[in-house]
C-alpha cells in the first residue's frame, strides 16, 4: 500500500511538473516558441498520433489562453511552435473582448486553469484599420468594431500629432489594452484570478512580416480595473427576477401609507355624517 502511494505521489509530482506552470513559466514557453518560429528552428511539439490519443483520452490541459485576431496570417499554434492541447485560443476579428469572448476566456483561465492570458494584436489589422479610416461597415460588423472605437479615441487623444499609418499602429496597441480593460472590468472571475496571483494577463503584437512578437507587458492600470465593481451578468439577471428589491419595498411602503390615509379620511367623514 505504501509503495502504491509512493508511486501515485511520484506520478502526481510528474504531472505537476508537466502541467502546473506558473504565469512566468508559461510566458517563457510562449517566448521560446516564438523565437524558434522566427529563426526557423521549430520543433513542432505535440502533433503526433500519441498526443491526439492522449489528449482525447485524458482531456485538455493547455498552458495558455490566447485572444487573437481571426486574420489568417496569425496562425496561433504555428507562431508559438506549440501543438495539440497546448493553447486555448479565442479568435475574433480585431481581437475584441465582448460577452462571448469573455465567457471563453473565463473557461480557459478558470475552468482549464491556464496561468497566462495573452491578448494578441497584430500589425496591419484590417478591423482596426477600418475603424481608423472610418470605413463604412455593414451587417453585423458595426457591433464588432464598436469595441475598437474607444481604442481609436484614446490613441487619437494621446498622439494628436500622428496620422495614418502611424496612428493605425498606435490604435492596434491601444486596442490590445482596450480588450484587457474590457476583460478585467467586466469579469469578476478573471479579476479574482489576477488578484490571487494565479493569472497573468499580457498584451502583445505579432508582426505579420517578421513573425516576431512584441511583448507589451501587463495593462498599466491593471489594479484599477481589477478592483472596479463588475456588472456580473448573473446577479443582474437575478435582481430583475427578485420581488424583494429596495425599489419594490419603497413602492409597497408608499402604497400602504396612501391606502391607510384614504381609509382614515373615509372613516372620519362617515363618523361626522352621523
Ligand atoms: Zn486583425
- Provide the residue ranges of all domains of the chain, joining segments of one domain with +: 22-235, 243-273
Query: Residue 239's pLDDT is what?
Result: 42
Dihedral of the alpha carbons of 114, 117, 123, 127, in degrees to the nearest 10: 100
Query: In this structure, which residues have their CB less than 5 angstroms from ion ligand 1?
Result: 69, 71, 125
**Cα→Cα distances 256→19, 181, 246, 250, Å:** 62, 46, 15, 10
CATH no., domain 22-235: 3.40.1050.10
Query: Residue 133's pLDDT is what?
Result: 95
Compute the distance from residue 181 Cα to the ligand 1 centre, in Å. 18
**245 — pLDDT class (breaks 50, 70, 90):** low
C-alpha angle 76/79/85, rounded to 5°? 50
Query: Residue 272's pLDDT is what?
Result: 75
How much is the pTM? 0.79
What is the mean pLDDT of the segment spanning 126-146?
Answer: 95
Query: Residue 237's pLDDT is what?
Result: 45
Query: Residue 232's pLDDT is what?
Result: 64
Query: Residue 162's pLDDT is what?
Result: 85
**149 — pLDDT class (breaks 50, 70, 90):** very high
Compute the distance from residue 126 Cα to the ligand 1 centre, in Å. 5
For residue 13, pLDDT over 80 is answered with no
Compute the distance from residue 205 Cα to the ligand 1 centre, in Å. 10
What is the mean pLDDT of the segment spanning 175-185?
Answer: 98
For residue 273, pLDDT over 70 is answered with no
CB 203 within 8 A of CB 219: yes
**240 — pLDDT class (breaks 50, 70, 90):** very low
Q: Take residue 21 and report the three cell numbers written for it.
A: 506552470
For residue 141, pLDDT over 60 is answered with yes
**22 — pLDDT class (breaks 50, 70, 90):** very high
Question: Pick from 131, 114, 18, 34: which is nearest to 80 by CA?
Answer: 34
Compute the distance from residue 246 Cα to the ligand 1 centre, in Å. 46
Compute the distance from residue 257 Cα to the ligand 1 centre, in Å. 61
Query: Residue 194's pLDDT is what?
Result: 97
For residue 170, pLDDT over 80 is answered with yes
59: region left, alpha or beta (phi > 0 left; psi from -120 to 50 alpha): left
Query: Residue 252's pLDDT is what?
Result: 77
Compute the distance from residue 176 Cα to the ligand 1 centre, in Å. 11
Compute the distance from residue 117 Cα to the ligand 1 centre, in Å. 18
Compute the distance from residue 127 Cα to the ligand 1 centre, in Å. 6
pLDDT in tens, 53-96: 999 999 999 999 999 999 999 999 999 999 999 999 999 999 99
For residue 179, pLDDT over 80 is answered with yes
Query: Residue 12's pLDDT is what?
Result: 42
Compute the distance from residue 141 Cα to the ligand 1 centre, in Å. 13
Residue 4 backbone phi and psi in degrees, to 5: -60, -45
CB 126 within 8 A of CB 71: yes
**Cα→Cα distances 182→2, 90, 118, 160, Å:** 51, 15, 14, 24
Q: Take residue 114 and report the three cell numbers written for it.
A: 491556464
Amino acid at each position: 500500500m505504501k509503495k502504491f502511494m509512493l508511486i501515485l505521489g511520484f506520478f502526481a509530482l510528474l504531472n505537476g511538473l508537466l502541467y502546473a506552470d506558473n504565469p512566468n513559466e508559461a510566458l517563457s514557453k510562449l517566448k521560446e516558441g516564438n523565437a524558434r518560429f522566427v529563426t526557423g528552428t521549430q520543433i513542432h511539439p505535440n502533433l503526433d498520433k500519441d498526443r491526439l490519443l492522449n489528449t482525447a483520452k485524458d482531456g485538455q490541459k493547455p498552458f495558455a489562453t490566447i485572444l487573437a485576431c481571426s486574420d489568417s496570417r496569425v496562425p496561433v499554434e504555428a507562431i508559438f511552435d506549440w501543438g495539440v492541447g497546448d493553447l486555448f485560443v479565442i479568435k475574433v476579428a480585431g481581437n475584441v473582448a465582448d460577452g462571448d469572448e469573455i465567457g471563453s476566456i473565463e473557461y480557459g483561465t478558470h475552468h482549464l486553469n491556464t496561468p497566462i492570458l495573452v491578448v494578441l494584436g497584430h500589425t496591419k489589422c484590417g478591423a482596426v484599420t477600418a475603424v481608423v479610416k472610418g470605413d463604412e461597415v455593414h451587417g453585423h460588423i458595426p457591433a464588432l468594431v464598436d469595441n475598437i472605437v474607444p481604442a481609436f479615441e484614446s490613441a487619437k487623444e494621446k498622439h494628436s500629432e500622428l496620422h495614418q499609418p502611424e496612428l493605425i499602429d498606435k490604435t492596434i496597441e491601444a486596442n490590445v489594452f482596450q480588450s484587457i480593460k474590457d476583460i478585467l472590468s467586466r469579469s469578476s472571475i478573471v479579476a479574482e484570478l489576477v488578484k490571487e496571483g494565479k493569472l497573468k494577463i499580457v498584451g502583445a503584437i505579432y508582426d505579420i512580416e517578421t513573425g516576431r512578437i512584441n511583448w507589451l507587458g501587463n495593462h498599466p492600470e491593471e489594479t484599477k480595473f481589477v478592483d472596479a465593481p463588475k456588472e456580473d451578468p448573473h446577479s443582474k439577471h437575478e435582481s430583475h427576477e427578485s420581488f424583494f428589491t429596495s425599489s419594490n419595498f419603497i413602492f409597497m411602503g408608499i402604497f400602504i401609507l396612501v391606502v391607510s390615509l384614504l381609509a382614515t379620511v373615509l372613516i372620519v367623514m362617515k363618523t361626522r355624517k352621523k
